[in-house]
Amino acid sequence: MSLHDVAARALHAFDPEDAHGLAIKGLKLGLGPRDAGPDDPILAVQLAGLSLPNCIGLAAGFDKNAEVPDAMLAAGFGFVEAGTVTPLAQAGNPRPRLFRLTEDQAVINRMGFNNGGLEPFAARLSARKSRGGVVGANIGANKDATDRIQDYVTGLTRLWGLSDYFTANISSPNTPGLRALQTKAALEELLGRLAETRAGLKAQSGQDYPIFLKVAPDLEDGEVEAIVETVVGAGLDAIIVSNTTIARPDSLKSPLAGESGGLSGAPLLEPSTAVLKRFHAAAGGRVALIGAGGVASGADAYAKIRAGAQAVQLYSALVYGGPGLVVRIKRELAARLRADGFAAVQDAVGAA
């Protein structure tokens, strides 16, 4: 076990949100792990026009304010998604709002898009732009916004040219009414306005950037297909499947299982992968898919890829696996790909 992993375990003595704050401070001081690299070529992927050195990404939520994207790239991630960022700074929901379900290797959060707002976020992305590496921006709406769709347009416009891709997060369960944007009419309006804004920004700047949509795993029959058609119609580039769940599986053992908020971690692996398969079937190769939810090992990442994901993201597993986890996942995934005769990640996409 590395010193970094020992330090990560020591953070469990602290309140989860305080521990996360300490982790961010340590990373800003350069105390994070470093993957000596280079990545195994079998893990490289082309995702929505982005060249990723490996297919393992850091999900949004870890680095809400774009403070440590380079530290996480150095730790071995193939891409890093910062945010969720909203136009105006907001405090989020009252504490406590982050809970470790240790017995279940899970986390419940009801953070509520706490972040410092677009301006400092944009300044940090601007300062690091020359450093390379793929860093995306996860954009959201302020809780009290009168026009939530305009908040997404504002985020896209302000960060255009500073971020390598954008993710519209409409699937957090912790902002009241946000998930209503997943319904067909609201989604068509949101994605239509984003597509219109994108076209204008592209014409003005001569640059284009991929836009992804992050969805919930708690979708009814027919909703998957409707979302795919709307995404394809609006010309978006990928769908991230999925955000946290409001469901509480009967298997949960932790006494904290009844806390409200979004559940992530190991219990989300199976249901989110099942939804991913539905998206893969509906998409038919027309839009890229990124698998998130419960990824804690090379086997988990491989299951997502076989279910239809071209890349995967993780966050909650770092709480229990430590910062060295990403290197272990990459090693295990490369071994599994080779054992099954695949020459590249792309060859295994949808193999299940």
Tell me, yes or no, if 171 is annotated catalytic.
no
Residue among 152, 287, 267 nearest 217 (CA): 267
CA dihedral sign of residues 201, 236, 181, 192: positive
Q: Long-range contacts: 222-230, Cβ < 8 Å, 24+?
A: 223/182, 224/275, 224/278, 224/279, 224/282, 225/282, 226/184, 226/187, 227/182, 227/187, 227/279, 228/279, 228/282, 228/283, 228/286, 228/287, 230/184, 230/187, 230/188, 230/191
Question: Of 172, 242, 264, 272, which residue is the catalytic one?
Answer: 172
Residue among 174, 132, 135, 167 nearest 152 (CA): 167
CA distance 23 to 65: 14
* Six token digits for residue 298: 């090379």
CB 142 within 8 A of CB 86: yes
Catalytic residues: 172
